């Protein structure tokens, strides 16, 4: 699994994912016509021109060469001090397994890398699952605002990052991997050749590292040598050695 910046070549896939995601999650309070109007307004012909604008950040999640999700964020304020996560969509057929959490963590990292001093996230008040997602992964509800979708007006909740230090900001997700329950810390990543490895724990308090979760194939089957090199035994994903590798001596 790779998370990368989206390009104009991804516009059709982004439009399709947004449509499928909205129809899967929002039809309890958004009509089909409203959703289609929104898709056309947000991801129509102009979106291909907007995707490369400096104030917009669009990241895509790619799995086996196919785009399966994306996040859409922007910057506001003097010198782009606030990064806002406007949408985070995962194709319904690919939900679960921490894909959304990984995308959230990488989106936050990207916004901070690009100069954001704080990060906000927005989700419609009626979307119970979306509100729970942000509340469970490092954000606190701070305020509300009114937004127009099609010809209707809805309430949108505004979330801000919780009161934790940056080094402690680690979204932890409970997963069933190889018939055992583990807790994967997506904020604790080690760069791999194909995808990051994530620190994994047996308990939710994350006190003692248990294993490394391969972000490419979702496996815990890997080995680490004395130099800190990790190799996944399933897909061959590799983490390079630490700076103490003998080749640097």
How does pLDDT run across 107-129, given as a tens digit for each residue? 988 998 888 888 999 999 999 98
Query: What CATH architecture does domain 2-166 belong to?
Result: 3-Layer(aba) Sandwich (3.40)
Q: What does pTM read for this prediction?
A: 0.72
HEC per residue, the chain: CEEEECCHHHHHHHHHHHHHHHHHHCCCCCCHHHHHHHHHHHHCCCHHHHCCCCCEEEEEEEECCEEEEEEEEEEECCCCCEEEEEEEEECHHHCCCCHHHHHHHHHHHHHHHCCCCEEEEEEECCCHHHHHHHHHCCEEEEEEEEEEECCEEEEEEEEEECCCCHHHCCCEEEEEECCEEEEEEEEEEECECCCCEEEEECCCCCCCEEEEEECCCCCCCEEECCCCCEEECCCCCEECCCCCCHHHC
How does pLDDT run across 13-63, given as a tens digit for each residue? 999 999 999 888 888 888 888 888 888 888 888 888 888 887 889 999 998
Domain locations in the chain as residue ranges: 2-166, 170-248
Give the mean model confidence (pLDDT) for residues 163-192: 71
Question: Which segment of 61-75, 78-92, 103-117, 230-244 scores lowest on mean pLDDT?
Answer: 230-244
């Amino acid at each position: 699994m790779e998370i990368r910046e989206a390009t104009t070549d991804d516009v059709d896939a982004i439009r399709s994912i947004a449509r499928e995601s909205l129809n899967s999650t929002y039809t309890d309070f958004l009509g089909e016509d409203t959703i289609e109007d929104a898709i056309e307004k947000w991801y129509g012909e102009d979106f291909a021109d907007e995707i490369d604008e400096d104030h917009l950040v669009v990241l895509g999640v790619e799995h086996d060469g196919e785009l399966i999700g994306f996040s859409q964020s922007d910057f506001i304020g003097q010198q782009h001090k606030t990064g806002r996560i406007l949408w985070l969509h995962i194709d319904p057929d690919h939900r679960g397994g921490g894909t959304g959490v990984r995308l959230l963590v990488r989106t936050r990292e990207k916004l901070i890398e690009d100069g954001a001093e704080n990060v906000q996230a927005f989700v419609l008040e009626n979307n119970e699952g979306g509100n729970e997602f942000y509340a469970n992964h490092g954000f606190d509800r701070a305020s509300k605002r009114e937004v127009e979708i099609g010809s209707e007006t809805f309430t949108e909740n505004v979330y801000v990052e919780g009161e934790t230090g940056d080094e402690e900001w680690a979204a932890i997700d409970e997963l069933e991997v190889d018939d055992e329950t583990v807790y994967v810390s997506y904020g604790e990543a080690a760069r791999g050749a194909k995808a990051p490895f994530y620190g994994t724990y047996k308990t939710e308090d994350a006190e003692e590292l248990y294993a490394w979760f391969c972000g490419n194939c979702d496996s815990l089957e890997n080995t680490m040598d004395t130099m800190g090199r990790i190799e996944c035994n399933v897909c061959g994903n590799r983490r390079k050695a630490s700076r103490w590798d003998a080749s640097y001596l």
